[in-house]
Amino acid sequence: MDWLTNPLVLARFVHLAACVVAAGTAGFVVLAGAPTAPGDDLHRRWRRLVAIGAVLAALSGLGWLAIVAANIVGTSFPDLWQHDIWTVAAGTQFGRLASARILLALLVMLPLWGDRSRAILALALLVLIAPAGHAGAQAGPWGWAHLAADALHLVAAACWLGGLPALVMVLAASNRDPAGLGGYAIRTTGRFSWVGIACVGTLIATGVINSAFLLSGPGDLLTTVYGRLLSIKLLLFGALVAIAAVNRFRLTPRLAQPDVRHALLRNSVIELVLGAGVLFLVAILGTLEPGGHRHDSGAIASDAAFVHIHTNVAMADVTVTPGKPGTVAVRISLSNEDSTAYEARAVKVTLRPPEEDAATIVFQAKHVADAVWASGGITIPLPGIWTLLLTITPPSGEIVVLDGPIVITP
């Protein structure tokens, strides 16, 4: 899959980055940027940066919602804006979370709040991303533990990586006016370095917890697409920590020297670039199935394609036989988190192709037994990583949407 041009990945990335910058800058103002006369102009710039981040978060959040809604209802964007997007926004868990984030982003950008109130709103906006990811798909006490760890992971990332643009602004300003802002830069950088140390420790601890939930074992880091991308993320994180250690223990104590301020500014910009790479990988990972989410579905034919997908409402084991281009049969087994049968009134299947010029396949599965649905005579024209979307209508209550990748081999 070409992730650089995938609309869902791009929308997730822009939304995540915007929320991180808004929350991180708002947190920087409270935790590191104590207002003083020399820093008043910087504070105005920081508040503008928070507002810009909030605007981008609202727009990208709306785009993310529109992309998911279009996938769910299988309609074009002009038709989507007439009525379908509002149905998804109000009638699904994802839609309600997206709507809440858009509303919070609009509130953050308003010039009504003090620094602490704005920081709390911005962090709430960021934390609401966690239930929209893999952590939101797990039920029970362990699900709440995973969700808490993921939310704390996001907060730590924001307070460190999201605070870097504000730090770069301080260092750049102090290089232009060392006499007026040199002392202010030293004090602000010193406070931020302690925030960074706390954030790195939190990221490591919560990262280990999240990995325990998302990976079936260390081997996933090499044998699955999700694991290999996570390995790249860990390498980038290691580089970030190494640069941060140089900044904290070698450069920050000598910040009164002009050449050291220039070096710290350069390193902070490098951290920003690496941090953007980490966030882009997070955006991709959110669209893939982790190894820890795979379940044993019993006997599966050797030539079949299989995927397990779930939310905290329902789970589905989907088998495509044979798992290669041509005429195939699709079998869907639905269950609750406790493995009991999940009752449904209708199941619509959408298969989105790996190439944009290929047609999307949409059909209604037939109920064959208990919680088993199936359909035969489906033609899959080409191999690759297809996106499988199940739109499940229960006997009562809201529609459940499950989605995940399924590999069709040549």
pLDDT, position 336: 77
Q: What is the arithmetic mean of pLDDT over 206-214?
A: 87
Q: What is the arithmetic mean of pLDDT over 382-404?
A: 86
Task: Check: CB of residue 73 under 8 Å from CB of residue 80.
Answer: yes
CA neighbours closer than 13 Å in the CB half-sphere of residue 311? 18
Which of 50-64, 67-81, 393-407 has the largest mean confidence? 50-64
329/371 Cα distance (integer angstroms): 17
Using 50, 70 and 90 to split pLDDT, how confident is the model at 338?
Answer: low
| pLDDT tops 80 at residue 136 | no
pLDDT, position 82: 61
97 Cβ contact partners less than 8 Å away, ≥ 6 residues apart? 128, 131, 132, 136
Give the burial class of 392: count Cβ atoms within 10 A of its Cβ; 0-12 exposed, 13-18 middle, 19 or more buried. Answer: buried
For the chain, residues classed under CATH 2.60.40.1930 are 295-408
Using 50, 70 and 90 to split pLDDT, how confident is the model at 14?
Answer: very high
Strand partners, 75: none
Q: Is the previous residue joined to 290 through a cis bond, with omega within 30 degrees of 0?
A: no
pLDDT, position 281: 93
| pLDDT tops 90 at residue 321 | yes
Q: What is the arithmetic mean of pLDDT over 8-24?
A: 94
pLDDT, position 203: 94
pLDDT, position 242: 95
Q: pTM of this prediction?
A: 0.74
Query: What are 247-296's pLDDT values in tens digits?
Result: 888 888 888 888 888 899 999 999 999 999 999 999 988 877 676 554 44
Q: Does 115 or 356 have the greater pLDDT score?
A: 115
Question: What are all long-range contacts of 253-258, with beta carbons under 8 Å and residues at least 24 apart?
Answer: 255/185, 255/186, 255/189, 255/190, 256/182, 256/186, 258/175, 258/178
Architecture of domain 3-292: Up-down Bundle (1.20)
pLDDT, position 75: 60
Task: Check: CB of residue 29 under 8 Å from CB of residue 119.
Answer: yes
Alpha helix segments (H runs only) across 161-177: 164-176
CA neighbours closer than 13 Å in the CB half-sphere of residue 150? 26
For the chain, residues classed under CATH 1.20.1630 are 3-292
Do the strands 315-321 and 366-369 form a parallel or antiparallel pair, or are they unpaired?
unpaired
pLDDT, position 165: 94
380/408 Cα distance (integer angstroms): 9
CB atoms inside a 10 Å sphere around CB 24:
33
Using 50, 70 and 90 to split pLDDT, how confident is the model at 397?
Answer: confident
* Domain 295-408 fold: Immunoglobulin-like (2.60.40)
Do the strands 384-393 and 346-352 form a parallel or antiparallel pair, or are they unpaired?
antiparallel
